[in-house]
């Protein structure tokens, strides 16, 4: 295939309508966690804690995270050869991860517990970071309403997660950090800490 034909083929694949990543876990606090995005990185996050109702939240990735999502997805050639996602190694049950993309040419879908394909693990790690940050933001928003005393500890969690690269799109933390910073009913220490984390996110520095 010549270069022009290859580019046309990749552009056709890039015209996808929906990408979905889900992670089910029989052991963790969440039974199911999913992110669904369109080609512009807009969509929704769904997660369900054990013995609780499913929470659905809208999501729009920042420009930087949108570019990373599109780059990581393209690196998999839009989930090419889904039968190779699973390594087949006998390891602990990490919970099945399901990836699905819908394109004009059809749907591709694959499931794995553990993969040795770097392109697939990179994409999976990105979405694990998205899920992690969205559940943290949801819990922080709930704490602002019902449990303000827990906010300093939750801010420490955010710092640790950013430092450990377990947050995929830190800019999405800014609105809740600003709410904390402006809330006069929250301890001054926590408000100051929220402002510090916000500036670090804005400058791209780690805590």
Nearest in space to 108 (alpha carbons), one of 76, 79, 77: 79
Strand partners, 30: 49
DSSP per-residue letters across 48-63: EETTSPPEEEEEE--H
Residue 29's Cβ-side half-sphere holds a number of Cα atoms within 13 Å equal to 2
pLDDT of residue 21: 98
pLDDT of residue 14: 61
Residues 101, 16: contact at Cβ < 8 Å?
A: yes
Other C-beta atoms lying within 10 Å of the C-beta of residue 66: 17
pLDDT of residue 6: 42
**What does each of the 207 residues of the chain score in pLDDT, given as a tens digit?**
444 444 444 444 467 999 999 999 877 788 999 999 999 999 999 999 988 899 999 999 999 999 999 999 999 999 999 999 999 887 877 889 999 999 988 999 999 999 999 999 999 999 999 999 999 999 999 999 999 999 999 999 999 999 999 999 999 999 999 999 999 999 999 999 999 999 999 998 777
pLDDT of residue 188: 95
pTM of this structure: 0.89
pLDDT of residue 136: 96
């Amino acid at each position: 295939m010549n270069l022009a034909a290859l580019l046309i083929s990749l552009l056709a694949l890039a015209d996808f309508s929906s990408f979905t990543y889900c992670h089910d876990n029989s052991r963790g606090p969440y039974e199911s966690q999913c992110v669904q995005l369109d080609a512009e990185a807009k969509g929704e996050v769904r997660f369900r804690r054990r013995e609780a109702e499913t929470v659905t939240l809208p999501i729009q990735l920042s420009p930087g995270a949108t570019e990373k999502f599109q780059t990581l997805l393209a690196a998999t050639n839009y989930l090419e050869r889904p039968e190779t996602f699973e390594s087949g190694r006998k390891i602990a049950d990490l919970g099945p991860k399901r990836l699905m993309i819908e394109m004009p040419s059809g749907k591709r879908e694959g499931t794995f517990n553990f993969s040795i394909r770097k392109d697939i693990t990179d994409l999976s790690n990105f979405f694990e970071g998205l899920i992690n940050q969205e559940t943290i933001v949801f819990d922080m928003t709930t704490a602002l309403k019902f449990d303000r005393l827990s906010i300093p500890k939750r801010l420490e969690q955010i710092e640790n997660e950013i430092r450990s690269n377990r947050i995929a799109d830190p800019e999405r933390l800014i609105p809740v950090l600003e709410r904390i910073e402006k809330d006069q009913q929250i301890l001054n220490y926590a408000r100051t800490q929220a402002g510090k984390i916000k500036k670090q996110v804005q400058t791209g520095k780690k805590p």
